[in-house]
Amino acid sequence: MTTTETAKQVEIAAQAIRQQTIYRPTVGLVLGSGLSELANSIQDPDIISYDRIPGWPQSTVVGHSGRLVIGTLEGKTVLVQQGRAHYYEGYDMDQITLPVRVMRTLGIQVLIVTNAAGGINADFSPGDLMLITDHINFLGMAGQNPLRGPNDETVGPRFPDMIGTYDPGLRKLAHETAAANNFTLQEGTYAYVAGPSFETPAELRFLRTVGADAVGMSTVPTVVVARHAGMQILGISSITNKAVPDPEPGTVLDHEEVLETGKQIIPRLTSLLRGILQQL
Ligand code: HPA
């Protein structure tokens, strides 16, 4: 798609949302599977199903719902994107990043993204939460960067700086919030791969060697677009499984396990997100 076409699609989607809510959100939250309780505790929400927003990509994955929940949470006006589309579902980068472009158009400046990831760092255990401090965009490095194509100078620069993408101030706030709730957060580099097949042992050895602490199939295209637009970004990974080249004999990794461990993390992740919102 050309920049003009993308911009037109973004404006149409943003307009459709404006017509379905009176709220003017300032914080965007992208929630992976299982965090519906948090979305459900938004006061007086306007709920917009994705099929009521032209061009909005629908998630086809089990455990991912498809709606925006807009309203007040911990005193902030938030827009929650509940469920996301992934590259492996067949969407292209323009489609995957439409939601964040729309958020920016709606005036959202702070973006909090959550995801599920495999833990590559040997110090990580399933059930840990990891603050993303940096990422490796394998698809982007291979040409599938969502900013490929003509640049819209009204949004951001042709060559955006990616240093400091994951906002140090927000990370500090996250650590303080976790400490106040009596838990700690891991930190690390998130490697973005296309999926949907999980990694082979050789791929995991490679990822470990190049400095990845966790691996997952989402988030990074959204973050690149948000960074380009100058948004403040916080990324949190739920470590749902070990992603190591030499697992215990008989270990099989499946999506069920990812969902199940993800569920156990939810109370901590929920109090973390609430605490951060309170202090924004
Ligand atoms: N690999 C890639 N993506 C993932 C994983 C994994 O091990 N776990 C959750 N998402």
CA of 41 to the centre of ligand 1 (A): 28
Backbone angles phi, psi at 239, to 5 degrees: -80, 105
| Atom 6 (ligand 1) nearest CA | 118
**More confident call, 221 vs 84:** 221
CA of 125 to the centre of ligand 1 (A): 13
Quick one: which H or E segment has residue 187? strand 186-192
Give the DSSP letter string of 119-166.
Answer: E-STT--TT-EEEEEEEEEHHHHTT--TT-SS--TTT--SS---TT-B
Is residue 277 exposed (0-12), middle (13-18) or buried (19+ Cβ within 10 Å)? buried
Q: pLDDT digit string (tens) for 36-88?
A: 678 888 889 999 999 999 999 987 766 557 899 999 999 999 999 998 999 99
| Bridge pairing between strands 232-242 and 186-192 | unpaired
| Atom 5 (ligand 1) nearest CA | 118
Residues 6+ apart with CB under 8 A from 193: 138, 139, 199, 203, 215, 216, 217
Whole-number Å distance between alpha carbons of 200 and 195: 11
Q: pLDDT digit string (tens) for 89-113?
A: 999 999 999 999 999 999 999 999 9
Q: Which of 215, 220, 265 to mutate to test the pocket of ligand 1 (most atoms within 8 A of CB)?
A: 215
User: What percentage of the chain exceeds 70 in pLDDT?
Assistant: 96
| Alpha-carbon dihedral sign for residues 79, 40, 266, 119 | negative
CA of 106 to the centre of ligand 1 (A): 31
217 given a catalytic annotation = yes
Bridge partner list, 73: 76
The set of protein residues with a Cβ atom below 6 angstroms from ligand 1 is 116-118, 198-199, 215-217, 240-241, 243, 258
What mean pLDDT comes out for the span 180-195? 96
Whole-number Å distance between alpha carbons of 10 and 18: 12
269, 253 contact by CB (below 8 A):
no
The one catalytic residue among 41, 88, 175, 187: 88
Q: Tell me the whole-structure pTM to 2 decimals.
A: 0.93
64 given a catalytic annotation = yes
